[in-house]
Amino acid sequence: MDECITLMRDLLDRYRMEVVPEHNSVNTRKSKLASLANLAPSFGENLVTSITPQVIYKYRDHIGKTRSKKQANLDLEVLSHVFTTAIEWGITSDHPMTNKKVTKFTLKPRNRYVEDWELKQWASAANPFLVAYVVLKGVTGLRQQDMLTIMNKDITPTKLVSINLKTSESISFALYDKDGEPTTAKLALDVVRQHYAKFNEKRQVPVMSPYLFFNRKGGGYYDMNAGRASGFLSVWQRSMKKAIKSTALVNSFTEHDLRAKVGSDQDSLEQARQLLNHTSAAQTKKSYRRNGATVLPSKGFISLDK
């Protein structure tokens, strides 16, 4: 056993310094740091070996009432991994949360499904940039951060390659089928490029950018250091408010709801899993398919560019 660490505050500090930086995702690091900051005041002065399921349940219920059940669950996920790591480091031999000795809150999942007619109403009032963005979103189902960080160099004559910022895994979308016909991914890319061609026609000096999606100055929308896309979010919110005010659209939807729509619109659960690049417990796929899977894109949404 590691005799140098007996208090939870020391364990939490070591986890913060050694484990958190290993995560590729900025948002994951921020979330873990926030949970560690929450955990430290409640557990810090306790011995590592004194933490019991009852103590953890008391913490869970307190955070659930004073902050949110979602935050309580996030904190418990971090705390559980802290103990798993402590066992690996030889600090303790007991894990107080395994085998369902501690359970998280059961949260009702978001179930907003965006109907085709709602998407069409939104598109009739939306910023043309967003319409082009959503056309490509519809055939790939990529997460917002992965959409906004697509580089022109990631597009070859035969495929569109996306790197998952959270896992560093890659996924490729075929631009042509086995018969040489363009896929919906190729058609969607054409819509995006046509939008920017019109964008540059209005300017005396064309805007050049290494990004597929770029702002008026040629920069990307996603801030890698901050882990967010504030400018993109502002454009989205303005377009949504405009659509609610000027079209038949009644209920707003988020950009993330469209990823759920892509998954929901697939013919089978397995097809949705592959397209959205979700992993199961399959270590083979995670560790040994290193060039990423190449999949046919979705049939996409209705023709929003028309």
Q: The dihedral of CA 33, 38, 43, 49: what is its sign? A: negative
Are both 194 and 67 inside the same structural domain?
no
What separation in angstroms does the CA of 12 have from each of 28, 35, 77, 96? 16, 10, 13, 16
Closest C-alpha to 236, from 138, 134, 161, 147: 134
Are both 153 and 274 inside the same structural domain?
yes
Are both 221 and 128 inside the same structural domain?
yes
SS (H, E, C) 160-211: EEEECCCCCCEEEEECECCCCCECHHHHHHHHHHHHHHHHHHCCCCCCCCCE
Instruction: Show the domain range for 27.
Output: 8-88
Instruction: Identify the domain boundary among 72, 88, 104.
Output: 88
**What pTM did the predictor assign?**
0.77
Are both 214 and 131 inside the same structural domain?
yes
Each as own residue / partner, the long-range contacts of residues 96-105 (CB below 8 Å, 24 or more positions apart, any chain) are 96/51, 96/52, 96/53, 96/56, 97/53, 97/56, 101/53, 102/53, 102/56, 102/57, 102/60, 102/76, 104/60, 104/72, 104/73, 104/76, 104/77, 105/60, 105/64, 105/69, 105/70, 105/72, 105/73
CA–CA separation, 46 and 52 (whole Å): 11
Looking at residue 2, what is its pLDDT? 53
Closest C-alpha to 41, from 76, 65, 9: 9
Looking at residue 99, what is its pLDDT? 92
> Is residue 157 assigned to a domain?
yes
Question: What's the N-to-C CA distance of the chain in angstroms?
Answer: 67
> Is residue 106 assigned to a domain?
no
Are both 270 and 131 inside the same structural domain?
yes
Q: What is the full per-residue pLDDT of the chain (306 aa) written as tens digits?
A: 455 678 999 999 999 999 999 988 888 999 999 999 999 999 999 999 999 999 999 999 999 999 999 999 999 999 999 999 999 999 999 999 999 999 999 988 778 889 999 999 999 999 999 999 999 999 999 999 999 999 999 999 999 999 988 888 899 999 999 999 999 999 999 999 999 999 988 887 888 999 999 999 999 999 988 888 999 999 999 999 999 999 999 999 999 999 888 888 888 877 888 888 876 523 223 322 324 566 778 888 867 776
Looking at residue 267, what is its pLDDT? 80
Name the token pair of 50: 């004194």
> Is residue 103 assigned to a domain?
no
Q: What is the CATH number of the domain that holds 126?
A: 1.10.443.10
User: Using N-to-C axis directions, what is the helix angle for 53-66 and 69-88, rounded to 10°?
Assistant: 150
Are both 229 and 290 inside the same structural domain?
yes
DSSP code, position 49: G
> Is residue 96 assigned to a domain?
no
Report yes or no: 203 and 197 within 8 Å, Cβ to Cβ. Answer: no
Are both 133 and 207 inside the same structural domain?
yes
CA–CA separation, 145 and 136 (whole Å): 14
Question: Could you give the number of structural domains in the chain?
Answer: 2
Report yes or no: 40 and 12 within 8 Å, Cβ to Cβ. Answer: yes
Q: What is the CATH number of the domain that holds 20?
A: 1.10.150
Report yes or no: 183 and 294 within 8 Å, Cβ to Cβ. Answer: no
Name the token pair of 10: 């020391």
> Is residue 161 assigned to a domain?
yes
Report yes or no: 173 and 297 within 8 Å, Cβ to Cβ. Answer: yes
Listed in sequence order, the residues at least 6 apart from 22 whose beta carbon sits closer than 8 Å to its beta carbon are none
Are both 168 and 265 inside the same structural domain?
yes
Are both 181 and 286 inside the same structural domain?
yes
Are both 35 and 181 inside the same structural domain?
no
Are both 67 and 183 inside the same structural domain?
no
> Is residue 178 assigned to a domain?
yes
> Is residue 95 assigned to a domain?
no
Are both 65 and 196 inside the same structural domain?
no
What separation in angstroms does the CA of 69 have from each of 12, 42, 99, 173? 22, 17, 21, 37
CA–CA separation, 31 and 35 (whole Å): 6
Taking residue 93's Cβ as centre, other Cβ atoms within 10 Å add up to 9
Strand ranges, E, within the chain:
159-163, 170-174, 293-295
> Is residue 304 assigned to a domain?
no
CA–CA separation, 261 and 112 (whole Å): 9
Report yes or no: 47 and 6 within 8 Å, Cβ to Cβ. Answer: yes
